[in-house]
Amino acid sequence: MVSVPRLVIAAPASGSGKTMVATGLMAAFAERGLNVSPHKVGPDYIDPGYHALAVSSPARSGRAARPGRNLDAYLCGPERIRPLFLHGAAGCDLAVVEGVMGLYDGAAGQGELASTAHVAKLLRAPVVLVVDASSQSRSVAALVHGFASWDPEVRLAGVILNKVGSDRHEELLREALDESGVPVLGALRRMRAVHAPSRHLGLVPVAERRAEAVESVAALAERVREGCDLEALLALARSAPPLADPPWDPERETAPARGGVGAAGSGADAAGGGGRPVVAMAGGAAFTFSYAEHAELLTAAGAEVVPFDPLRDERLPPGTAGLVIGGGFPEVFAPELSANEPLRAEVARVAAAGAPIAAECAGLLYLARSLDGEPMCGVLPAEARMSERLTLGYREAVAIGDSSLAAAGTRVRGHEFHRTAVEPGAGPEPAWGLVRPERRAEGFVQGGVHASYLHVHWAAVPDAAVRFVAGCARRGG
Among candidate residues 76, 92, 361, 472, the one labeled active-site is: 361
| SS3 labels along the chain | CECCCEEEEECCCCCCCHHHHHHHHHHHHHHCCCCEEEEEECCCCHHHHHHHHHCCCHHHCCCCCCCCEEECHHHHCHHHHHHHHHHHCCCCCEEEEECCCCCCCCCCCCCCCCCHHHHHHHHCCCEEEEEECCCCCCHHHHHHHHHHHHCCCCCEEEEEEEEECCHHHHHHHHHHHHCCCCCEEEEEECCCCCCCCEECCEECCHHHCHHHHHHHHHHHHHHHHHHECHHHHHHHHHCCCCECCCCCCHHHHHCCCCCCCCHHHCCCCCCCCCCCCEEEEECCCCCCECCHHHHHHHHHCCCEEEEECCCCCCCCCCCEEEEEECECCHHHCHHHHHHCHHHHHHHHHHHHCCCCEEEECHHHHHHCCEECCEECCCCCCCEEEEEEEEEEEEEEEECCCCCCCCCCCCEEEEEEEEEEEEECCECCCCCEEEEECCCEEEEEEECCEEEECCEECHHHCCHHHHHHHHHHHHHCC
Would you call 76 a catalytic residue per the annotation? no
Q: Which positions are catalytic?
A: 361
